[in-house]
Amino acid sequence: MTEDTALTPFRIDVPQADVDDLRDRLAHTRWPFPVPGRDDRTDFSRGIPQAYLQELAAYWRDGFDWRAQEAELNAYEQLTTVVDGQTFHVVHVRSADPQATPLVLNHGWPGSFVEYQRLVPLLTDAFHVVIPSPPGFGFSTPLSGTGWELARTTDACAEIMTRLGYERFAAHGTDAGAGTTGRLAALHPERVIGAHLGADPRWLGLVGDKFPYPAGLSDDEIARIEAVRAEDAADRGYLEVQNHRPDTIGPALTDSPVGLLAWIAEKFRSRAAGDHRTPDESVDRDQLLTTISLYWFTRSGASSAQFYYESEHSGLDILMPSGVPYGYAVFDAHPLLRRAMDPGKAADHWSEFTEGGHFPAMEVPELLAEDIRTFFRGVS
């Protein structure tokens, strides 16, 4: 059978019954018994503190306006298309300039197309912006089956750009979206103008894991990298669960909004400039809750975890651009990051910022937009 390649217009319209059900579940949350003496809302040493989580849940229930956020998201053109049997949701924002450069923005977990909401208007004078949701994320649900990992997703992303009429395009990504962006450039070098990757000190966790330590590091430098890796490892419990036991965590993320809130909100706790903040001090509270609401309404807490399982068990190597210009924008910069990740200074572009963190499009969209512009001005 020939696959239907149609691009179908899409508009977000969550049933009111689902909105009411969310508020009802939040109102009837069965909270754990608090541990005496642990009432500090800023103490994240054991995970997200209950005192802070209760504040955030109360606002989600009584202060957050989903319909207002839904209307803002619907201001952008959206569509769905089926690739290899999987429905993909795509945000497509055309520039007023018909000669603008097509730019695909890729994200990972716990991101969504909402992650780029504040970045888009800063780019559309120069770029046609395309934001595909990976399989199992947002409205790219439900999953059509097993086997949706990074390589298959990358091929689907390239096909989506073809269907939109973009033979040549630029690419940006963070988190797992950086993996998609790197693979696009490596496997489709004739199509990708350049690959721009957002990074933060968590990338040091890849050194010694996915990549060997570069030659010439002193014992002190290795110790400093290991310290960052150890801190990152303490925050990786969610990753190990999603990589290996998505069926176990999935029902909790689908049935309990507070469970989903705790699971995702903790990951938005920024370490920008070494300053430990609560999640909604790092990013806008309504944008954070719009992201989490999207996971809730689409049941993608469970299905996005399946994406991580598939990628972990795919046996894929990390692919970097080959013959395609690439660059990094590093946020909450660590002095050893380039020494460890790009010791030969092979990257065509490297910017470091003390501000921001793992979600730069939400934390510091102006900085990220300017860096994207700067990079692609130099390669296009």
Q: Compute the distance between CA of residue 191 and CA of residue 161 in angstroms, rounded to an integer.
A: 10
Measuring CA to CA, which residue among 329, 324, 317, 316 is closest to residue 364? Answer: 329
- pLDDT single digits (tens) 149-191: 999 999 999 999 999 999 999 999 999 999 999 999 999 999 9
- Reduced DSSP (H G I as helix, E B as strand, rest coil) percent helix, strand, coil of the chain, to 5: 45, 15, 40
> What is the tens place of the pLDDT at every residue in 125-147?
999 999 999 999 999 999 999 99
What pLDDT digit, counting tens, does each position of 62-121 carry?
Answer: 999 999 999 999 999 999 999 999 999 999 999 999 999 999 999 999 999 999 999 999
198: how many CB neighbours lie within 10 A of its CB? 26
| Domains by residue range for the chain, with CATH | 8-22+48-377 (3.40.50.1820)
- Residues classed as catalytic: 175, 308, 358
Cα separation, 82 vs 6, in Å, equals 8
pLDDT of residue 315: 79
**How confident is the model at residue 272, as a pLDDT?**
39
Q: What does the block give as tokens for 209?
A: 């894991």
Mean pLDDT of 346-375: 96
Q: The tokens of 116 are what?
A: 């780029």
What is the pTM assigned to this prediction?
A: 0.94
What's the rounded Cα separation, in Å, for the pair 323 and 336? 26
Q: What is the pLDDT of residues 262-296, one digit of tens each?
A: 999 999 985 533 456 789 988 999 999 999 999 99
